[in-house]
Structure 1
């Protein structure tokens, strides 16, 4: 009556361990892919925010006494490139009758600023447009 009982050994088989490691590797791969995408988005957002600050600064600098024409330059040792185009603003819906041209009247100028970084693709560019009032110069006075 004294039968020998054999207990099955407790533990995992080699197949179960390999499957567990495969699932763990897949999960870590997905997690690292997500983190690298998030890092890239944070970097792009930082670059765009910095470009917007540069654009605001450039408009403040050149918008005081705008002169028609184009200007361009670089910021941060060439990391950001900018171009400012200043042109007279044309009313898209002109008034009826002959145009009145007063050389001593103030006029509106359209400022178009573009700041690029990296390759300058659509995701690496900030464009800002603004209108500024240009007062006529007094006789004998030029820009400061």
Structure 2
């Protein structure tokens, strides 16, 4: 019997197949993580834009009720300002405004930023309150 020093064709084909399957698996992992990284960057950019729009709205001295919209790059933003009436009173839900100053008014500011196709957009939303002094 003669001893062989090399690999058979079958052994080489099996080794190449196993390596190819491993490489495809690793490439899929890279592709998935790349997609998640892009989605994370897009969401972070939307949050930064929403925070900027919120700050700009809250710093206005003449904060009026209403809605406003705009766009920046791939993002569409929408701002709503409305009066906010807090629930005051007993735990059973009775509302009362006794001993509450009428010199101030609360405004609710809601900022929504959307991106992606209008048929199935992704979005982030921020909500804040601002105390307005009535003159």
Query: In which range does the TM-score fall when normalised by the shorter chain?
Result: 0.7 to 0.9
Aligned residues: 128
Give ranges in structure 2 of 5+ residues lacking alignment: none
Q: TM-score, normalised by structure 2?
A: 0.82
The 3-state SS of whatever aligns with 2:39 is helix
RMSD: 2.4
- Give the TM-score of the pair, scaled to structure 1: 0.78
**Which of 117, 127, 130 lines up with 1:129 in the alignment?**
127
Unaligned segments of structure 1, at least 5 residues = 1-5, 138-144
* CA deviation map 1:26-77 (0-9, x unaligned): 001110110011101111111111111111111111112321111111012x
Give me the whole-angstrom Cα distance separating, in 2, the residues matched to 1:105 and 1:87: 17
Output one character per residue of 1:105-142: Cα deviation in whole Å (capped at 9) or x when no partner. 211111111111113657x31110100112225xxxxx
Q: Which runs of 4+ in 1 moved over 6 A?
A: none
The structure with the larger Rg is 1
Higher strand share: 2
Q: What displacement does 1:98 show?
A: 6.1
